Amino acid sequence: QVTLKESGPVLVKPTETLTLTCTVSGFSLTNPRMGVSWIRQPPGKALEWLAHIFSNDEKSYSTSLKSRLTISKDTSKSQVILTMTNMDPVDTATYYCARIERPGGVFINWFDPWGQGTLVTVSS
């Protein structure tokens, strides 16, 4: 059974750096056909893709947040880490990690399954 679980602080102050960890089980971060994405959702709003990482260390970031995001992985711990600098109240959201399946070609991919999400509130 494939599962992902997000962990990190529930409250951060403006200007602080957020560090979130996604711990996966049921698949390996060394599998070339799978990666992990981070996606967020402000309360009552739509989903926003943030970043992804694959086994070969291929990384990609949201255009608008690229300067603030860093994604990395610790294969030995089955963890993917996302850091976001200079947090602002508008970054208040539920942050999800999700497995990306990429079974054939760069274009054919989807997010499944997703973690339960973790709500991060940015407030002083």
DSSP 43: T
Maximum Cα interatomic distance, the chain, rounded to a whole number of Å: 46
Nearer to another protein, 16 or 62 (CB): 62
Cβ 5 vs Cβ 113: under 8 Å:
no
Shortest Cβ 62–another protein spacing (Å):
5
Closest to 5 in 3D by CA, of 121, 84, 120, 118: 118
Residue (103 or 124) nearer to another protein, CB: 103
Task: Return the number of the residue (12 or 51) whose C-beta is nearest another protein.
Answer: 51
Q: Which positions touch another protein (CB under 8 A)?
A: 37, 46-49, 52, 60-63, 96, 98, 107-117
- Work out how close the CB of 53 gets to another protein at its nearest, in angstroms, rounded to a whole number: 12
Token output for 76:
């030995």
Please check whether residue 18 is in contact with residue 6, taking contact to mean a CB–CB distance below 8 angstroms: no
Q: How far is the CB of 46 from another protein (least distance, A)?
A: 5
Judged by beta carbon, residue 52 or residue 73, the one nearer another protein is 52
Size of the chain in residues: 124
Cβ of residue 68: shortest distance to another protein, in angstroms?
Answer: 14
